[in-house]
Amino acid sequence: NQRKEANEALERADASLQAMLTRAQERYAPYEEIDMLVASRQMNPDDFAALRAEAKAAEGDIKFLKEEANSFYGELQNKKAAQQQESAKHCIEVLQKELPEWNTELYNDIRKHAIGSGLPAESVNQYTDPNVIMLLHKAMMFDRSKQVAKTKKAKAPAKILRSKKAPPTKTDQRISKQKAAQERMRNSPSG
C-alpha cells in the first residue's frame, strides 16, 4: 500500500511538473520567434526594454523548471537505485536461507531459463522479490525434470507383450523342442 501511495504521489508530482513546464514553454514561444536585433531598431526603447524583460523572464522560468525537473528526476532515479540495491541484498539473504545451493551460477541459470521461457530480459533483471525468483527456480527445475523424463523414456527399451493366442515364434518352437527332448531323456529308461 505504501509503495502504491508513493507511486501515485510521484505520478501526480510528475504530471504537475510536466504541466508547469508545458505552460512555461507556451508562454515563451512567442518570444522565441522574435529577432531582438530587428525589434530593437523598430521599437521605441521603453517598449523594447519591456519586451526584452518579458522574454528574459519567460526564458528564466523555462530554465528554472528544466533544472528542477532534472534535479527531481535525478534524485528519483538515485532513490530508486538505492532502493533496488537494498531490496536485492534482502533478496539474496532470503534466497541463501531458502535455497542452500544458491550462488551466482544458479541465479544466471534461473535468469537464462526465465528469458528463454519468454519473459522480457529487462523485467527479469529487475526482479528483487525472493518469492518470484524461487518460483522461477521451481519452474526451471520442473522443466528440467520433464526433459530428463523424456530422455529416459526415449532410451527405455520397448517391452514386447506377447499374447498366448499368437502363433509361436521360431524361438518359442526351438525352446519347446528342447524342453520336449529333455523330458524324453528324463523319462526314458536308462540302459
pLDDT in tens, 89-121: 998 999 999 888 988 899 999 999 999 999 999
What is the predicted pLDDT for the residue at 57?
93
- What was the pLDDT predicted at 164? 65
**What pLDDT was estimated at residue 172?**
84
Give the pLDDT confidence score for residue 37 in this predicted structure: 85
Q: How far apart are CA 148 and CA 139, in angstroms?
A: 14
How far is residue 124's CA from residue 143's CA, in Å, rounded to a whole number?
18
pLDDT of 111? 93
**For the chain, which residues score pLDDT lower than 50?**
none
| Cα angle 25-30-36, degrees, rounded to a multiple of 5 | 115
Exposure on the CB side of residue 93, measured as CA atoms within 13 A:
6
The answer to whether 59 touches 67, Cβ cutoff 8 Å, is: no
User: Cell numbers 525472493 correspond to what residue?
Assistant: 130
Q: What is the DSSP string of 158-180?
A: PPPP--TTSPPPHHHHHHHHHHH
> Which pLDDT value is given to residue 162?
63
pLDDT value for 23: 92
